[in-house]
């Protein structure tokens, strides 16, 4: 129901503006998506993005596990990485994208941004899960 509501709002906003270049209508978007789905370049782009995003996620996952274990066993490591994680969590994604466009080639940007956005939360989840695992294991 909520999706239908927001698509309707989107449609009315697009009709109100009357300029597809500023706000394409949902109908135009679906039509274009249908057209593009029959082209090889579309699926190549989708595959390229998928691989880059999954790569960033996996890098964050492995580093998150490693840092979580280190932080669990060493208070010093936890204290050292806490400010970096706090900065990443509190900075908007768009800000990182703009800065990274200057430093990182655009073909690798999605890997780095995916990595950067997943790492703090995965690290937190790993630390919490590791602690709960030990607690449950000891209790069992």
Q: Quick: pLDDT tens for 20-66.
A: 888 999 999 999 999 999 999 999 988 988 898 889 888 888 888 88
Report whether pLDDT(77) > 70. Answer: yes
pLDDT score recorded for residue 26: 94
pLDDT score recorded for residue 69: 85
Q: CB–CB of 52/115 below 8 Å?
A: no
The model's pLDDT over 93-123, given as tens digits with 9 standing for 90+, comes to 888 888 888 888 877 788 888 888 888 888 7
Q: Where are the domains of the chain?
A: 1-38, 52-139
Torsion of CA 24, 3, 56, 118, to 10 degrees: 130
pLDDT score recorded for residue 140: 62
Count of C-beta atoms within a 10 Å radius of residue 55 = 16
pLDDT score recorded for residue 86: 87
Which is more confidently placed, 92 or 33? Answer: 33
Contacts of 37 (CB under 8 A, 6+ apart): 43
Give the H or E element holding residue 12: helix 2-17
d(CA 30, CA 26): 6
Place of tokens 């129901």: 1
d(CA 2, CA 4): 5
d(CA 77, CA 68): 9
Can you read off the two tokens belonging to residue 4?
A: 């239908």
């Amino acid at each position: 129901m909520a999706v239908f509501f927001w698509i309707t709002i989107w449609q009315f906003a697009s009709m109100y503006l009357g300029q597809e270049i500023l706000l394409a209508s949902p109908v135009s978007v679906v039509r274009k998506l249908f057209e593009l789905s029959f082209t090889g370049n579309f699926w190549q782009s989708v595959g390229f993005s998928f691989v880059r995003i999954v790569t960033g996620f996996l890098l964050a996952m492995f580093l998150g596990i490693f840092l979580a274990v280190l932080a669990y066993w060493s208070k010093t490591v936890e204290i050292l990485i806490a400010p970096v994680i706090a900065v990443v969590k509190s900075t908007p994604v768009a800000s990182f994208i703009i800065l990274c466009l200057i430093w990182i080639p655009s073909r690798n940007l999605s890997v780095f941004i995916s990595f950067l956005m997943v790492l703090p939360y995965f690290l937190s989840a790993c630390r919490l899960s590791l602690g709960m695992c030990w607690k449950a294991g000891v209790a069992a």
